Structures are given as structure tokens and as C-alpha cells.
């Protein structure tokens, strides 16, 4: 049994991690951390988590004494913690953005701050198993991808891998409000978000440099990408409508065959018709559909931002790290409606 700690366990991602790990037969949550809820039980903060109600929150991450640590802290926080965990032999899956760039200059340009743990940047493995499964097997430090980045990369990778992009790509992305985290903001306040669709993160959303960086690792020169995210009146889920520029010989049938071939053997990617978000909600699945609208190719990508876009993908990465079947603890049906 792998003993795990969850740092930042009071937020949406941390709570989802605890829910999923409560169902995992080979990973036991032994410690949970959150400074603002120290000495409270998990059940007091997350009443839905009946199997973990008596576990108490601790405040000092120096007290982590487990095989694995899931770090679900805000941006610019985990880089102050992770180095010490690695030095003590704890393997780390960071759900935040602090280790998604191997280049400290790109990190600074994206997040407006110097990285506090540059010595470990180069060893972090980007935690998208469909692209980097073999690298993950021996990793000490995993950088769990961003939610928008996961949805976009899984949609674009087959086109990049086969060098089919001939021009710009437009990504029209929509996400529920849980992607902003548990702390309320003016933009996520219910009266602001409940009856509106709002583009945000402009002119350059933080996930766009992440997407470009990863595509540069797996294919030729990355295409020009216009990425516009929107907040929609939902709690969970991401739907991306992606408009790539491809050669005129590409057909709807050939696109569908390509995606089916590339993701054959990937247990959490489904290729088929135009997806609906409730299929993916609560799961680790990404639903892809590649088709043509008139003469224009369109790729749809749908996932749960707290699932395949966050906590569930972290569990998938843990399964890879410890040699478990990737599906362990994650064969959960979507909500459906």
C-alpha cells in the first residue's frame, strides 16, 4: 500500500483528490495539510468524504512522512515546499503550475515571479500520460498539467505528431467556475457568473505558454495558436472547440481514423461524436471528436476540469509512478446529465 499525503486538501482539487483516493485500493491517504484548517477533521471541511472524516488537517509540510505527496497549492506556493520533500525521498505530484516549465525564464514571463526552486525544474516530468508515459515511470517529480492545457493538447497532439497543421489554430474554450479555485473572486461571484459568458485571461492566458512549450517537445515548430477561454455558468467541465488549419485533402473520415489510431490503448481518451460535458463530469476521461463543418475541420475536446484536468489525472500519474494499472481507482462513470 502506498502512503500518500495531500497538501492543500481543503480546496476543490484537494477535496476531489480525497474523494478519488478514498476509492483507491492501493493508495492510502495518511496525512492531509492545510494551514487555515489545522486540527479540524476532513469531515468538518468536506462533509461528503465519509471515509476520511476523522483524518485531521496538519499545518506544517515539513511533517510529511509518506511515500507520495500530492501538492494542490496555489501558484507560487509549491515551489517553496517541493524541494524539501524530494530531499527526504518523497515522490511529488504537483497539481499547481510551478513545475510545468523547465525554463525559469518562461516561468518568470508567465507568472511574473522568479522561480524559488530552479534546481528541480529540469527534472520535473510533465504529467500527461498519453504523451509522456515512459518518462513518468521513473519520475520523482510530476508537474500535473493545467486543465485547459490537457483538453487542448490531447486534441492537437495527433495533428502535431503527424505534421498535419499547415497554419494557425484557434481554440475557443469554455470552463465552469470551479476552475478558479475555492476562494471567491469578483469574477466568479455568483451574480457575476450565473447568467453570463465571459472571456478572461486576455491577452495571453497562462495555459497558452504551457501548451506551446509541450507541443514544442513532441513535434515540429508549434503552430500559431489563438487561445480564448470563457467562464460559463457551470460548476465543472471544459469544452474546447478547436479550429486547426489543415491541408485541403483532409476529410472528416481521415480525421476520425487518425484520432482513433493515435489513442488506441489510451484508457481515458474516448473518440467519437460531438461530446457532452456530463459524460466526462466526475471522471478521468477526455472525449474527443474530429469532424468537418462545411469545408473547415473542427476538433471538440471535453473533460472535467477537476477530473482529467486536475485531481483524477494526478491519480492516473500516481498509478504510472508506482507501476499500477492506470485505471486503478478511476473506472468511474460520468454523471450523464
Catalytic residues: 147
* Whole-angstrom distance, CA of residue 74 vs CA of residue 185: 14
Place of cell 517541493: 82
Q: What is the 3-state secondary structure (H, E, C) of the chain?
A: CEEEEEECCCCHHHHHHHHHHCCCCCEEEEEEECHHHCCCEHHHHCCCCHHHCCCEEECCHHHCCCCEEEECCCCCCHHHCHHHHHHCCCEEEECCCCCCCCCHHHHHHHHCCCCCCHHHCCCCEECCHHHHHHHHCCCCEEECCCHHHHHHHHHHHHHHHCCCEEEEEEEEEEECHHHHCCCCCCCCCHHHHCCCCEECCCCCCCHHHHHHHHHHHHCCCCCCEEEEEEECCCCCCEEEEEEEEECCCCCHHHHHHHHHHHCCCCCCEEECCCCCHHHHCCCCCEEEEEEEECCEEEEEEEECCCHHHHHHHHHHHHHHHCCCCCCCCCCCCCCCC
Amino acid at each position: 500500500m502506498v502512503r500518500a499525503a495531500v497538501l492543500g486538501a481543503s480546496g476543490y482539487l484537494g477535496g476531489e483528490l480525497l474523494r478519488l483516493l478514498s476509492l483507491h485500493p492501493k493508495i492510502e491517504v495518511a496525512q492531509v495539510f492545510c494551514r487555515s484548517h489545522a486540527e479540524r477533521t476532513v469531515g468538518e471541511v468536506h462533509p461528503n468524504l465519509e471515509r476520511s472524516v476523522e483524518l485531521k488537517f496538519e499545518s506544517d509540510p515539513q511533517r510529511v512522512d509518506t511515500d507520495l505527496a500530492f501538492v494542490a497549492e496555489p501558484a507560487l506556493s509549491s515551489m517553496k515546499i517541493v524541494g524539501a520533500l524530494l530531499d527526504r525521498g518523497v515522490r511529488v505530484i504537483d497539481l499547481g503550475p510551478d513545475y510545468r516549465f523547465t525554463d525559469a525564464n518562461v516561468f518568470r514571463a508567465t507568472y511574473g515571479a522568479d522561480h524559488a526552486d530552479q534546481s528541480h525544474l529540469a527534472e520535473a516530468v510533465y504529467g500527461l500520460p498519453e504523451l509522456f508515459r515512459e518518462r513518468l515511470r521513473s519520475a520523482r517529480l510530476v508537474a500535473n498539467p493545467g486543465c485547459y492545457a490537457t483538453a487542448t493538447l490531447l486534441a492537437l497532439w495527433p495533428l502535431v505528431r503527424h505534421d498535419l497543421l499547415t497554419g494557425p489554430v484557434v481554440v475557443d474554450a469554455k470552463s465552469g467556475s470551479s476552475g478558479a479555485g475555492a476562494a471567491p473572486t469578483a469574477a466568479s461571484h455568483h451574480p457575476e457568473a450565473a447568467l453570463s459568458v465571459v472571456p478572461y485571461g486576455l491577452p495571453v492566458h497562462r495555459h497558452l505558454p504551457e501548451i506551446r512549450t509541450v507541443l514544442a517537445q513532441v513535434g515540429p515548430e508549434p503552430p500559431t495558436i489563438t487561445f480564448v477561454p470563457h467562464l460559463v455558468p457551470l460548476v465543472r467541465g471544459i469544452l474546447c472547440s478547436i479550429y486547426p488549419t489543415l491541408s485541403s485533402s483532409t476529410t472528416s473520415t481521415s480525421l476520425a481514423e487518425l484520432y482513433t489510431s493515435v489513442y488506441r490503448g489510451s484508457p481515458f481518451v474516448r473518440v467519437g461524436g460531438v461530446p457532452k460535458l456530463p459524460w466526462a463530469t466526475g471522471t478521468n476521461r477526455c472525449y474527443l471528436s474530429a469532424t468537418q463543418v462545411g469545408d473547415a475541420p473542427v476538433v471538440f475536446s471535453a473533460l472535467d476540469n477537476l477530473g482529467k484536468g486536475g485531481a483524477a489525472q494526478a491519480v492516473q500519474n500516481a498509478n504510472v509512478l508506482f507501476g499500477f494499472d492506470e485505471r486503478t481507482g478511476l473506472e468511474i462513470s460520468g454523471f450523464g446529465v
